[in-house]
Structure 1
């Protein structure tokens, strides 16, 4: 049976091009396995389903080698899995893998195997290097943003931004604490929700307790 594997990194990426190319090789839509995830490893639901589904004598078509994966070591481990399972892997951007070995003698088959292995070595190295470069660019971008003061990670919802905000909260807190206004009036005047108000009360009281002079 002819099977097809497609991978894109996000759901926003278009898979039509890969699908149309695989259709040209006689692969039916029901035989397509499609993942929307990173190629850094092989923990992918549809890929795992494909490995369970394929049988000895099947042919697996993949549009490009980096659609299979981007880790050189893992790529070769997966290719070896299919080889041992008797599944022929055909990668469209490595045309020699599309060769029908049944019409070649043993010498020709050996030569083609050598060529395929060489191409796989080169392309898997390039795929891995692209992933490393992507990570490097992301790291550089994050570092540059941090130098400009951009904050990453979950925002600190209840931090006081500056002294003016702290003083405003302190004034409102004291009005509320001395029963001059209700809690609803307090958090409404501060422009925050009930949850945020009480979280800031807790933080404010902790700050005051910490700064309280000791005897």
Structure 2
């Protein structure tokens, strides 16, 4: 009879260990495990399960600062890039301007020359040959709808620094690398639609002058 309390304590310890193991497994899975064939539809303010940069090609060029950040602002212009990404240049609301880096000063729109945060919507499916790994299917999520220029939006996704040194070449020697982005955008909601007829005036790039 004297051994029963000891056995009960042992069972309790084993049970606690199992609970801790399950919690650790769940946390690890949330951050690092991609669930095959599962794609999440996310709302602004929600974070995606699994590796935050899944679905981004050459993700090593992006320095992860925050695996899930939500921001808001006005889309002043947008453009489809050769890799299939849609670049939104977002004029941040005042509470988020601290996320901008010096290199964001070159991310401008023709009618809004101030710095913008880049928000990138990656293609839903593989495109072409060079950028086949660049797609939301591989990332395990459904792309958000592309907002219109002038829309005020809330966007969620990984907050990263794009360290690609080739940007300095493309912008003719300007310190263009290390700008801040939400990349990829997991969710975007339009809080206030643009007025009809809002122009899309993407700013100068690749060394052009304003």
Q: Of Structure 1 and Structure 2, which has the larger fraction of its residues in strand?
A: 2
TM-score over 0.5 for the alignment? Answer: no
- TM-score calculated relative to the size of structure 2: 0.20
Q: Of Structure 1 and Structure 2, which has the larger fraction of its residues in helix?
A: 1
- TM-score calculated relative to the size of structure 1: 0.20
From the CA coordinates, give the structure whose radius of gyration is larger. 1
